[in-house]
Amino acid sequence: MKNYKGETALLIATLIWGATFTIIKYALQDASPLVFISIRFTLAALILTPFLFKEIKNIDRNVLIGGVFLGLLYFLGFSTQTIGLNYTTATKSGFITGSFILFTPIFQIIFERRPPGLGSILGIILVIAGLLFLSSSGTSLLSVFSEIGDNFNIGDFFTLLCAFFFALYLIFLDIISKKYNYKPLVFLQILVTGICGIFSAVLLSFSGLEKAHFEFTGNLVFALGYTSILATVVTATLQTKYQKLTTPTKAGIIFSLEPIISAVIAFFFLREKISNFGFIGGALIFSGLIVSELVDKKTD
* Number of domains composing the chain: 1
CA distance 169 to 185: 13
Question: 204 or 3, which is more confident?
Answer: 204
Residue 146's pLDDT is what?
Answer: 56
Q: What angle do CA 273, 128, 276 make, to 5 degrees?
A: 25
200 has a pLDDT exceeding 50: yes
Q: pLDDT per residue over 113-158, tens digit each? A: 777 677 777 877 887 777 677 656 555 556 555 555 557 788 889 9
Residue 193's pLDDT is what?
Answer: 95
CA distance 244 to 251: 9
CB 92 within 8 A of CB 281: no
Residue 171: strand, helix, or coil = helix
Share of the chain above pLDDT 90, in %: 33
249-266: average pLDDT: 72
Closest CA to 23 of 208, 189, 203, 262: 262
Question: 126 or 1, which is more confident?
Answer: 126
Q: Band of the pLDDT at 299, cuts 50, 70, 90? A: very low
Radius of gyration of the chain (CA): 19
Residue 233's pLDDT is what?
Answer: 96
Residue 72's pLDDT is what?
Answer: 97
Q: pLDDT per residue over 58-100, tens digit each? A: 899 999 999 999 999 999 998 898 888 888 876 677 778 877 8
Question: Between the CA of residue 235 and those of 18, 73, 88, 295, what are the distances in Å?
Answer: 11, 16, 24, 28
Residue 58: strand, helix, or coil = coil
Compute φ and ψ for 214, nearest 5 degrees: -150, 125
Q: Would you give the DSSP letter of residue 265?
A: H
CA distance 101 to 262: 17
CB 299 within 8 A of CB 102: no
Boundaries of domain holding 129:
2-299
Q: At what angle do helices 2-27 and 248-255 cross, to 10 degrees?
A: 30
CB 122 within 8 A of CB 295: yes
21 has a pLDDT exceeding 80: no
Question: Between the CA of residue 193 and those of 37, 43, 148, 232, what are the distances in Å?
Answer: 8, 11, 33, 11
Q: Band of the pLDDT at 241, cuts 50, 70, 90? A: very high
Q: Band of the pLDDT at 212, cuts 50, 70, 90? A: confident
Share of the chain above pLDDT 70, in %: 84
CA distance 90 to 263: 7
CB 73 within 8 A of CB 169: yes
